[in-house]
Structure formats: C-alpha cells, structure tokens
Amino acid sequence: MNLPIFTTPSELGHYLQSHRSQAIGFVPTMGALHLGHQSLIDRARHENTLAIVSIFVNPLQFGPNEDLDRYPRQLEIDRVICETAGVDALFVPTPESMGIKDALTQVVPPPMMMSGLCGRTRAGHFQGVATIVAKLLNIVQPDRAYFGEKDAQQLAIIRKIVIDLNIPVDIVGCPTLRADSGLAHSSRNQYLSSTGRSQAAVIYRSLQKAQTLAKGGEIQSQSILTAVKIELATVPEFQLEYLELVDQHTLQSIETVEKIALIAIAGRIENTRLIDNIIVGG
C-alpha cells in the first residue's frame, strides 16, 4: 500500500481519528533522512502499533545567516525511505499550514537552558524548536515521541517543555548513529567533501578520549576538556565553536564530574557546522 502523505494538520487529524485506539509513535524530522533518523523510526515502529513521521524544515529555528534556503530537501527519497521502513503515515506540512506568521504564539523554554552550548550563537533557535515541537505534539498527540541524543540540548529542552506544559507524551531519547569513522550521521554531512568527512571524525575521537579519561577516574572538568582540545587540535581544519562539560538535564557547566554529565562540541569543517556529544561519569 502507498504511504499516505498529509500536508495539513486537519488532513492528518482526520486520518488519526480512526487510529486513536492504537499506540502512536511519532518521529519529527527536517527530512534528508539518514541512518540516524531510520533508527528512530525503527524504534517507533517496534514500540508502537502506528508510526508517524513528520518532515518540516522549520523556518523558526534558523537564524538570518543560517542555511534555511540550502538545507537539503529530498522528499521523494525520504518518502521511499519511510515506506520501506514501514512508516504508516507521513506528515509534510507547509509553513502556512503550520501557521508560521509574524504574530505566532511562541513557546519560550527556560532561558538558562538556552543560553549555553548552541544557544550561545543561535539566538532564537530553541524557541523556534520548542514552538514547532509543541505544535507537532498537539497535532499528532502521540503516545511516544522519538528524539536523538545527538541533539542533546534540544532533547533536554523538549523533555522540560513537555513536563512544564503537561503535554501527555513519553519522550524517548535514542542513541546517536555514527558512520564507521565515528562521525555522527547528520543531514548536514551532505555539505562535506570526503576529505571533510574524514577530518570531521576528530570530533568523536576527541569525545572518546574524554570518556576514557573519565572512566579511568578523572573527575576534573578542566583536565578532561584539555584532553579533548589536544585531540581536536590534531585537525587544524576543525574550527571549534564551543566545548562544554555540563549537567545532562540542566545544561549548566560543572567543575567536577560526580554523576552522569555531558560533553558537547560544536564546530565547523569546510564551513559546515557540526555538533556531537558524549556521556561521561556516573
């Protein structure tokens, strides 16, 4: 059977009306689907009886000088990936049908969760994410929604808004899928040359160094972060934007690793912005 595609909330709502008795798993994406997305879809399928995927390149989460216009769009390929993966319905709303306009009501996560990490250079990004994720959760009303741990700040903020706004959904965090080199799969990897891709593997390599140090008993954040910087410096083409060791839930910097913490990196290779993170401690 052909995978049904809905482009407005009311069309999708109509379809879902006759499926409300089922356990609904939802995977929101911006498309250009890769193996990371597919792992979320597989999990949604296995833990639910109905799997819904959305593809929406959310204009609210791109800054004025970011890559909204050139963000990869490949709907036909994505449709085939979803159909092959056994997705039950695809939601591909237009900005108009999502009500994107100047006077849109916005969801504002706690400023302390947005001020560090990616929020430092991406003003408005997480407000844009939170607003659209809240709208999508209200439209789909899934039992479970699946998000990648690769976007750790996003995941922490979504967990927080779901609690604070009493949105009745289980947020499921899923491990980061990587290429053999360790580079995290990302839609933006399409921008990289093959040289760039192999250089970008330094990000995960440096995170693994940190994990090994922490496993060996090092708890001082400064020592762990210094080891990461030394490894990152082996690839001078990598331009570091931030490197932080933070509490996994509050996203606040910590001096010593007493419990599970997150080391997060953002930087550029060939002017493509890449992020990644790893869990340490605990």
Query: Which residues are known catalytic residues?
Result: 37
Please list, in sequence order, all residues whose beta carbon lies within 8 angstroms of the beta carbon of residue 122, skipping any fewer than 6 positions away. 63, 66
In whole angstroms, the minimum distance from the beta carbon of 31 to ligand AMP comes to: 6
In whole angstroms, the minimum distance from the beta carbon of 29 to ligand AMP comes to: 4
In whole angstroms, the minimum distance from the beta carbon of 91 to ligand AMP comes to: 13
Q: What share of the chain is helix, strand, coil (3-state, %, to 5)?
A: 40, 20, 40
Q: Give the dihedral of Cα atoms 176, 79, 45, 277; nearest 10 deg.
A: 10
In whole angstroms, the minimum distance from the beta carbon of 55 to ligand AMP comes to: 8
Report how many residues bind ligand AMP under the rule CB under 6 A.
17
Indicate whether 147 belongs to the interface with ligand AMP (CB under 6 A).
Answer: yes
Indicate whether 52 belongs to the interface with ligand AMP (CB under 6 A).
Answer: no
Indicate whether 267 belongs to the interface with ligand AMP (CB under 6 A).
Answer: no
Indicate whether 71 belongs to the interface with ligand AMP (CB under 6 A).
Answer: no
- The residue among 39 and 48 lying less far from ligand AMP, judged by its C-beta, is 39
Indicate whether 40 belongs to the interface with ligand AMP (CB under 6 A).
Answer: yes
17: tokens are 């009306």
Burial of 132 (C-beta count, 10 Å sphere; 0-12/13-18/19+): buried
Q: Which of 16, 30, 140, 156 binds ligand AMP (CB under 6 A)?
A: 30
Residues β-bridged to residue 50: 24
| Contact string 163-192 vs ligand AMP (x = CB under 6 A) | -----------x-xx------xxxx-----
204-218 b/e (C-beta count within 10 Å ≥ 16 → b): bbbbebbbebbeeeb
32: tokens are 């250009």
What are the angstrom distances between the C-alpha of 181 and each of 112, 134, 197, 239? 34, 35, 9, 19
Binding interface with ligand AMP (CB under 6 A): 29-30, 36-37, 39-40, 147-148, 150-151, 174, 176-177, 184-187
